[in-house]
Chains A and B, each alone.
Chain A
Amino acid sequence: MSKMPTRLVVCALLLSLSAAAFASAPADAPIVDASALPAAAGPPTGLADSAALRATVFGTPPQDMAPLPETVPLSEINIALPWARPVPAVYWFDRRLRVWISAQKKPAPLAIVIAGTGGDGNTSKLSILRGALYAAGYHVLTMPSPTFPGFIVSTSSTGVSGDLMQDSRDLYAAIVQILAKLPRRIQITDIDILGYSLGGANAAVVKSIDAGEHKLHIHRALMINPPVSLIESVSRLDKLFVTSIGPDDAAVERLYRQLYAQLANLYRASDKVELDESFLLGAAASVLKTDAEYSAAIALSFRLNLVDMFFAADLYTGAGVVTNPRHPPKVGDSLENAARRLRSMPFAAYFSRVFAPYYLKHRANATSASQIADNRLDIIADALRTDGDYYALTNSDDLILDAPELRWLQDTLGPRIVVYDHGGHLGNLGDRQQVKDMLEMLAGRWNLPAL
């Protein structure tokens, strides 16, 4: 058994290939419904230029990162939620919601941080934010995105993720339950909420829900690189997939063959004895060099998240797109065909075949157009405009926004938004300036007149 590790290592490493090379940022692209409706105007990359795409894929350079603490105490909380729906057999491992908490030893404010699309409650981006917030004296609770399969199964009241209001309601209810079950030694003096990408939009909507229900008294909310229209943002990613990879499964296979050959040649040219993490990171740097390659990585990573959302919703609603509602898959059944069919389906297909039919049926007076309007930050525009406790950080070259959307954010939030020149989508998360601004906003020190 002396070499057992390699096997597991491999898995971890290769998962991180999809996660590191491809997913670095994209795992958090925005979400939700797009479809038969207005295809996003303009280029699929929104406001992004080449540098922005690169930053989106590779993230903040280590040397630009804000100082982070050596160690941060960490516990995980696995919680069964009373309203959970019956769990489909193939999701046997997702019965309980898993979140992570880092508690201060003394009374302190709590920062709740929500991941971007498809992310669990312990992504590397959350780890960066956790470090910065904990060092600044917060208890930190990190939560998965409502689009993460573990959340959909354990916490969603619908099984159909991607609706801004419904997802945020589920998130709010889960937070109420979690805070009620925290050990008494964790003393909370105030509650702030933040999130990146789609998680940013979720965070702001959760605060607005709390403003009506008063269960938590959330103080400040901060959105980091949020989408404005979920549908427009996602349409951009659909379009990016088609332009950078192609429309069908043959295109996915072509991309796979190219990548395989590139990795094999790099490996054969090296004298490495194992295809390990450092090799993969190096390979990512030399395989991903052009705008088309950055775009393919971003689009593919988003698509892999979509496959999971789509499958769960198909199963929960009995839509029958890739599963048979009469004979749902059992534990141990092969899901290969479902995965293969889903990976060539765009978000527009999710919207038109599962999402829209479900909400048309369950929501009075809903129409396709109203669903699109309901998935814009406009639904909380009044609060964003008038309540001084909402903040945002974003970049002028974020690929999930276009110029009018960015202007809308600036008009709505006024002095409570910072727009950096560079960074793409989350490509400056954790850098010195960003962390400094984040902490000032959350502490209520933002834009105070100098004394």
Chain B
Amino acid sequence: MGNDNEIIDNIANKEYEFGFVTDIEMDIAPAGLNDDTVRYISEKKGEPEWLLSWRLKGFQSFQKQKLPEWQNFDLPTIDFQKISYYAAPKSKKKYDSLDQVDPELLATFAKLGIPLSEQKTLAGVAVDVVFDSVSVTTTYKEKLNELGIIFCSFGEAVKKHPGLVEKYLGSVVPHSDNIFAALNAAAFSDGSFVYIPKGVRCPMELSTYFRINTENTGQFERTLIIADEGSYVSYLEGCTAPMRDENQLHAAVVELIALENAEIKYSTVQNWYPGDKEGRGGIYNFVTKRGICKGANSKISWTQVETGSAITWKYPSVILQGDNSTGEFYSVAVTRNRQIADTGTKMYHIGRNTRSRIISKGISAGKGHNSYRGLVQIGSKADEARNFTQCDSLLIGDQCGAHTFPYIESRNNTATVEHEATTSKIGEDQIFYLNQRGIDSEKAVALIINGYAREVLNQLPMEFAVEAQKLLSITLEGSVG
């Protein structure tokens, strides 16, 4: 047992591996949010009038809303007036090639192990890099252009494709949806925009690396992905952030729209700074992610591997409006030290013969707390709707917690809803068994964890799956229960 505790302590003492700060000149708005800040951001970005007025409406909703009280953790006090709502690297000009990019910035990416340039070409990934809030470089644009695919920063989309943005912005997550979505609507800085034209299958994984870098800068990304009829796209989002003592708020919004016969696959690997072992610092990851299967036979699939952040609070959801549409949610959430995750999904079955599948794998170590919270709602017209939910919890050590809050609301008696849940512990027996075959304890834990999460990791694109697997092993290095 002594050995056990030692190893559990190790995990608690492990410092965040990606904690470093890049020294680049920044253009920062004064802290606080009011009408003027909203105007400042909009003006900085040279936005049209309609967008400014949408932002202002968002700000009004934000002022009217209160922080939720239903979550299964103590929400720390957030002083919204102490946050700076805009930060952009000062060097304003756009880059044509990587050579022109600030070498410090490139060094940061190198430290993170992000192969930005040629390696990505080989891997077939186009990267839209968001450094703090403004897009620095977008690769592969030309190749995508040939197919009519639009993959650019949100700011660029506002300028070049205002019709599409105006039509779909806020159509899935309205500016009044919740307090954080409202905050995002008012203050969103930049983000990504994707449009896949009719019948086009996007030939590569679209990928964005987010990075929060400036102290006290809330980052409010906005992602909008539209898959037109019969199209397909797989989108990857991966994040790491440098170490900070001040808590940083991240309130992103992601909207997905799948039209008839279209499919969107959205994968996330989130590894933001989780805070130190006493729970100081760390990112608040309060994200609103929602997709709508608007057309018949469409499909939206969320996959997430959440290992970072002090608090992860998000429910990537799908509105199954089109008949025969499918929604999926695959999640691995890891909490250790004093990390908290309250995550899950909502599946709104509206159309007939709609299907949803939820696979959630929580892993808690140290004093971490992990909650699955999910809603499966079957509307009165959703004949023959089907849902399958599986919630597994894995505990490492005896000071962590796992909680499951499944909600089911059915207004249609032809629907089938299934829910399965398990809780297990990594036993010292398992570790010893692997030890006895020559495998040390750290590798043993990695093997067990990856086995446990395999069903979810399998959903990730190959390259990402390997990264995620590594991340899980690093995150839980030395943890034995």
A and B held together in a complex: no
